[in-house]
A and B are shown apart, each in its own frame.
Chain A
Amino acid sequence: MKLQYSGQERIAASPDVVWAFVSGPEKVLTCVPELIEGTVRDPSHFEAVVRVAVGPVRGRFTFKFQMQPDPAARRMQMRISGGGFGSAVDMTAVSDVVAASDDATLLNWSGEAVMRGPVAAVGGRVLEAQANKLITQTFANIRERLSQEMT
């Protein structure tokens, strides 16, 4: 099952601040929803164990994140792979940090996820909505954390 997603967060912070945040694995890690534990391996790699509940598929999923920053374009690409409960998830995510006209910053994000195994079959009917919710929540958490840091 292949899912495509995209969205936008408007953040009341400068593009430099937002870029610094999304480039930091320890910061992004804390924005992953349903996080049980996380480990930063190096400046471009981290791992997260998260709680997943998609229909009857419930358990711990382990994900590996690989960050591929392009500072000149303020574009962060991430490759995320992992799974659990006999399932596998491979994702790519791209987020662009763009200056908005009112001193705010737009974080435009998009990506694609390929699900395999029980999570793609058993959770098929609710997976799209659930995955979209989790991904949206990740970027919403980034906005929230940045807002907290700015106040």
Chain B
Amino acid sequence: MSTDSTKTRHSLGVPMKRKEDPRFLQGQGHYVDDISLPGMLSMAIVRSPYPHATITTIDIAAALTVPGVKAVITGKDLEAAGLGWLPTFHGFDKQMVLAIGKVLFQYQEVAAVFADTRAAAVDGAEAVRVEYEPLPVVPDPFTAKKDEVILRPDREAKTNHIFHWEVGDRDATMRALEQSATRVSRRIWFQRCHPAPLEPCGCVALFDAMGRLQFHVTSQAPHVYRTALSIVTGIPEDKIHVISPDLGGGFGNKVPVYPGYVCAVVGALKLGRPVKWIETRTENLTSTGFARDYHMDVELGATADGTLTGLRVSTVADHGAFDAAADPTKYPAGMFGIVTGSYAFPVAHAEVDAYFTNKAPGGIAYRCSFRVTEASYAIERAMDILADELGIDPVELRRRNFVKKEQFPYASALGFTYDSGDYHQTLQKALDTIGYTDLLKEQAEKRLRGELMGIGFSTFTEVVGAGPSRHFDILGIKMFDSAEIRIHPTGAGVVRTGTKSQGQGHETTWAQIVAEELGLDPQNIMVEEGDTDTAPYGLGTYASRSTPVAGAAIAVAARRVRDKARKIAAHLLEVGEADVEWTDYKFQVRGVPSRSVTMKEVAFAAYTNPGQNEPGLEATNYYDPPNMTFPSGAYVAVVDIDRETGEVRVRRFLAVDDCGTVINPLVVEGQIHGGLTEGFAIAFMQEIQYDAEGNNQNTNFTDYLLPTSLETPHWETAKTVTPSPHHPLGAKGVGESPNVGSPAAFVNAVVDALSPLGVRHIDMPITREKVWRAIRDAETRPAATVSAR
């Protein structure tokens, strides 16, 4: 933390309205699809209707006769140019740009058509005749496991098995479980879902008069795109300019480099004209980065009094046709090791086996820090299952097993060192705020009347902020992040970072950090991101890493500015630098408060009267965090279920979050509201389903649902604050917490409501039909004993 005194916050923790909102609210955001250039062509993609098939012929002759069509490229064209495959961000696999020889998932890219207009490009795509010979479909990882059909003969290993990863002490865990008084186990599936940002993916590619690629793209990680494009195309990195303008949401969906981007670049190069490609909604839902699809066998052991003795999780993961989950190189299952959650397990073991299937590739998107959501859901569901087995209140079971605040920094059984937390305090705040005692009383009364009311908890711990570069990289690039701050003569300034906001409010929060550190007006601090020509190199925004990493870089860079400013202040105050202190957001002579200068005055002097100091006032920092951060929370859902229709009504939902130091409470609350709404959608509405023939059943917003204001519950929020000891501001990040923590609370509440009927688990999404069937099934069994918890 800063050594200077900051008794009253200047900008940090202030609920400033978002600086960027006026332009969004007035329709003045600037998105990729807003770009229109002279001579610009449109690109459309021919996609496979088959999930697995040999391509026998591709006939482009008819397409080339469609008025306006300028060119068609296929996989063979790209292969001949050495561009047939692109590396996935995980680095151990590659992905076809356009299908070569065969297709591996429905809606896979087969050909790209370039035309004067979008309509002509679509007509041209429709006119491309592709003949397929269907091959057997591998629809799930359990079929894949049998290796009866090898999907990826291009790989050296002739198996559908992608990787085995494990962490923890297997033998010790097994011994602990065998010796436990109580053991529970359950297959818990986190269904395949999709982030579905309102703006789908797209790009505009052009080569300017200097032969430089100007690439406007919907990217959460522009610098990584520049490097990846250079690697794939062979274009020197200095000849590539990536610009990611305003983004209409991302949630991890805009991290990978997609085949369409490569095709657009090739088209622009081949035709000498700008090329625009904007996905349709269906293309976005069917071919871009999905989320989850983890089948988790969870086993818990406990003593008779409910003290946890061990945790074992064995997971089968469906990665689709290519291993395109953008996990850090050393972590093929991401941060799944956080599956011990908030609990002090003496031993644990987790393993993940991933398989290829005939589905779209991806896996780690949707507001989730590398498989943390799956892990959190698994442990929070399992804790309720154990509580049910032991006959202990799930709240009490959690409380008995929490890591205690005095145990931090806490070394978990699976290798993470939790930075800080006070789980008991956060849970108690949740219980007090929700009125748990009264809710239990109400529930008992309702159960006697046969009414179905449920209370569900989730007391999760996340791991975010990748990350320490000794552990984390993408394509070999270390996961640091960066900030460059330049203060102008009048005390205004600009901060540039390697992150990229997709709606998180960076233009406001980054300005607040600079303003807090330098005593300037945040309204006069401009934030620039997303332009690789101006921003310092960074790894981008995903996995809740912006505040933990780039936010820290900004704070450190600002302190460097302040260090430089102190020298100039000493010159202005005509004292030695050691006699100048930073107090109440200004420099003053130690012990003489009447002699002071503001940062604004110093900034002016930096350009007009710097004395013996180097002119100018700017600094850069590349921040390599010493550890991850570990946000946590206690969430409570209260639901009522209609016995006749199966309708679940979320009556109340309380989220108590501890994300460390809060930079802007309004922004944090907005993040929590958005994340909870997505968590609600996952719990009750969303699944990307495939039928037995490999058909994607959720290709549009009729079949893949987003909650509207009508369905979305009212969210209640509260907070506790345990600053991260290693972050310069004590901040931990919050963007993904509500999505990570809420699904288990919803499901636990529904299962709690149905528990008098003997229901012990329901897989997400909890549709009305599933609930109705569970109730009807229960009614056909012998009458269950109705009892209050």
Q: Which residues of A line the B interface, CB within 8 A?
A: 1-2, 59, 83-88, 90, 114-118, 120-122, 124
Contact = CB atoms under 8 A, between A and B. Distances in A.
Interface stretch (B45-53, B153-161, B207-215): B45-53
Given A1-B691, A116-B50, A122-B699, 8 more contacts: A1-B693, A59-B126, A84-B126, A86-B46, A86-B49, A88-B132, A120-B691, A121-B703
B697 A124 contact: yes
A116 B47 contact: no
Interface of B: 46-47, 49-51, 106-107, 126, 132, 134, 282, 691-700, 702-703
A79 to B, nearest CB: 12
B132 A117 contact: no
Contacts of A120: 691, 693, 695, 697
Contacts of A90: 134
What 5 A-B pairs are tightest by C-beta distance, nearest first?
A: A117-B49, A88-B49, A116-B49, A120-B695, A121-B699
Given A85-B126, A86-B49, A88-B49, A114 B699 contact: no
B132 to A, nearest CB: 7
A115 B46 CA distance: 18
A116 B700 contact: no
B697 A121 contact: yes
Please indicate which of the listed interface residues A1, A87, A120 has the most CB atoms of chain B within 10 Å of its own CB.
Answer: A120
B58 to A, nearest CB: 14
A122 B695 CA distance: 11
Contacts of B700: 121-122
Contacts of A87: 49
Nearest to A117: B49
Nearest to A59: B126
Contacts of B134: 90
Contacts of A122: 699-700, 702-703
B313 to A, nearest CB: 33
A2 B49 contact: no
B695 A116 contact: yes
A118 B48 CA distance: 11
Given A83-B49, A85-B126, A116 B693 contact: yes
Contact of A2 (B46, B107, B692): B692
A42 B46 CA distance: 30
B695 A115 contact: yes
Contacts of B126: 59, 84-86
A90 B691 CA distance: 16
A90 B700 CA distance: 24
Nearest to B125: A86
Contacts of A84: 126
Nearest to A87: B49
Contacts of A86: 46-47, 49, 126
A3 to B, nearest CB: 11
Given A83-B49, A87-B49, A118 B699 contact: yes
Contacts of A114: 693
Interface centre among A85, A87, A115, A124 (most CB of B within 10 A): A124
A116 B703 CA distance: 16
